[in-house]
Amino acid sequence: MSHMNEKETVLTVDGLAKYEKELEHLKTVRRREVAERIKQALEFGDISENSEYEDAKNEQGFIEGRILSIEKLLRNAKVIDEHEVHSDDVGIGSKVKLMDINNNLEVEYMIVSSAEADPGEFRISDESPVGRSLMGQKVGNVVNVNVPIGTIQYKIIQIGK
């Protein structure tokens, strides 16, 4: 069976570790918890009106689905290590320091694949509006990012890793 049509996912070393940890947790802890819930629900007797059993079965389905999708993601993961991230232009794995020209504010983002994007941690996807406009750009360049509220202008101050 060929996996050629599965999309390759680019992960940073951190991102890989995070997924591996989640997978381990699902397989060891969560699987055991839900099996225990199902066992208890069955001991309560009549399944037909046993919403606890239904919930537990649904959760089990969710956990198994998540395990499969993480396994698939890891099977197709291309891990970029820091040596592959160069600092002359922006790519996945780059840490980019930007100056928001309109507000005179500095921000720093790490560009990652959508599989690891976490805006709260300033890890933005290469497919997001900001990420897409930064890809391939060099220090000193000014990029315009169209966002719902208008256009943000960022000047690239520094590219690191």
Q: Residue 25 falls within a domain, yes or no?
A: yes
Query: pLDDT at position 1, please?
Result: 47
On whether both 61 and 104 belong to a single domain, the answer is: no
Average pLDDT of the chain, as a whole number: 90
Q: What SS3 class is residue 20?
A: helix
In a domain, 2, yes or no: no
Q: Which CATH number belongs to the domain containing residue 146 in this structure?
A: 3.10.50.30
Q: Is residue 3 part of a domain?
A: no
Q: Which residue, 112, 73, 114, is CA-closest to 92?
A: 112
For strand 142-147 and strand 123-125, is the pairing parallel, antiparallel, or unpaired? unpaired
**Element of type H or E holding 107:** strand 105-112
> Around 8, how many Cα atoms within 13 Å sit in the side-chain half-sphere?
5
Amino acid present at 52: E
Q: Which of 31, 64, 80 is the last residue of a domain?
A: 80
pLDDT digits (tens, 9 = 90+) for 127-149: 999 999 999 999 999 999 988 88
Number of independent structural domains in the chain: 2
Asked if the structure places residue 93 within a domain, the reply is: yes
Q: What is the DSSP letter of 137?
A: -
Pairing of strands 77-80, 9-12: parallel
In this structure, is residue 1 part of a structural domain?
Answer: no
Task: Give a yes or no: residue 143 inside a domain.
Answer: yes
Domain boundary among 24, 45, 80: 80
Residue-wise pLDDT tens for the chain (161 aa)?
A: 445 566 788 999 999 999 999 999 999 999 999 999 999 888 876 666 678 888 999 999 999 999 999 999 999 999 987 777 878 999 999 999 999 998 999 999 999 999 999 989 999 999 999 999 999 999 999 999 988 888 999 999 999 98
User: Which domain, by its residues, includes 37?
Assistant: 9-80
Task: Identify whether residues 114 and 128 lie together within a single domain.
Answer: yes
Is 33 in the same domain as 47? yes
Domain containing residue 60: CATH number: 1.10.287.180
